[in-house]
A = this chain, B = another copy of it.
């Protein structure tokens, strides 16, 4: 059983009528609903819960953490970011969604600004450029999102381990829309689609990518990396 925690800032769905129409119970509940199955158990957590809903004991029992944030990145305390980072480095999988590119935790793990170009309401076609990657299993060669926020290059990230998806936008831009990274003993996947005003997380292909990613991100074990003063092994 893979234990997933879906974290959501949960702001727009509460403050903007238009967004609430798209995700009445919040993006986190929408993701929980389609993700939960015989192999995956899901809990949710939001910014305004104590400890942002992810105290030590929750993270210790989380195999894969999904992260959606946008307007309140700065309100996540540094101690929470420290804690999440520690767990990722020990093996907890991390799936950073859409505007999570600017979250403290993603920037912390990347070491870069994670800046990019952006524009509301474009049309995107996503190309699978690494079809043999487990995250791309069963995903068509290309698929379309009728409306999605444009995120365009230059995307300031370190070179990914694998670029699984590339995005083409009708407005003329390209983007590395699905990228994997390893940090410490943990796997990370960044996936660009998922703007709050579009029903992207209701798209079955998007759901399949996220489900595949959860399986791929799940570690076999947590491994701490110590810093020991060691004896010579020779004599």
Nearest CB of chain B from residue A223's CB, rounded to whole Å:
5
What's the nearest-Cβ distance from chain B to residue A193, in Å?
A: 15
Asked whether, in the complex, the Cβ of B226 is within 8 Å of the Cβ of A111, the reply is no
Stretch of A9-17, A52-60, A181-189 with 4 or more beta carbons under 8 angstroms from chain B: A181-189
The stretch among A18-26, A32-40, A153-161, A198-206 that forms the contact with chain B is A153-161
A128 to B162 CA separation, bound complex (whole angstroms): 19
- Asked if residues B227 and A115 are in contact (CB atoms below 8 Å), the reply is yes
| Proximity string of chain A (123-134) to chain B, C-beta cutoff 8 Å, 1 when within and 0 when not | 001011111101
CA A187 to CA B162, docked complex, whole Å: 13
A33 to chain B, nearest CB (A): 26
Minimum CB–CB distance for A63 against chain B, Å:
13
Q: Are A112 and B166 in contact (CB under 8 A)?
A: no
The answer to whether B230 touches A117 (Cβ under 8 A) is: yes
Looking at A85, A110, A186, the one whose CB has the most chain B CB atoms below 10 A away is A110
The residue from B132, B163, B183, B228 contacting A186, defined by CB atoms under 8 A apart: B132
14 A-B pairs within 8 Å (CB atoms) are namely A113-B227, A118-B228, A119-B230, A127-B153, A129-B153, A131-B223, A132-B184, A132-B219, A132-B223, A137-B220, A158-B182, A159-B182, A172-B233, A174-B174
The interface of chain A, by Cβ under 8 A from chain B, is: 85, 89, 91, 108-113, 115-119, 122, 125, 127-132, 134, 137, 141-142, 150, 152-156, 158-159, 161-163, 166-174, 176, 181-187, 219-221, 223, 225-234
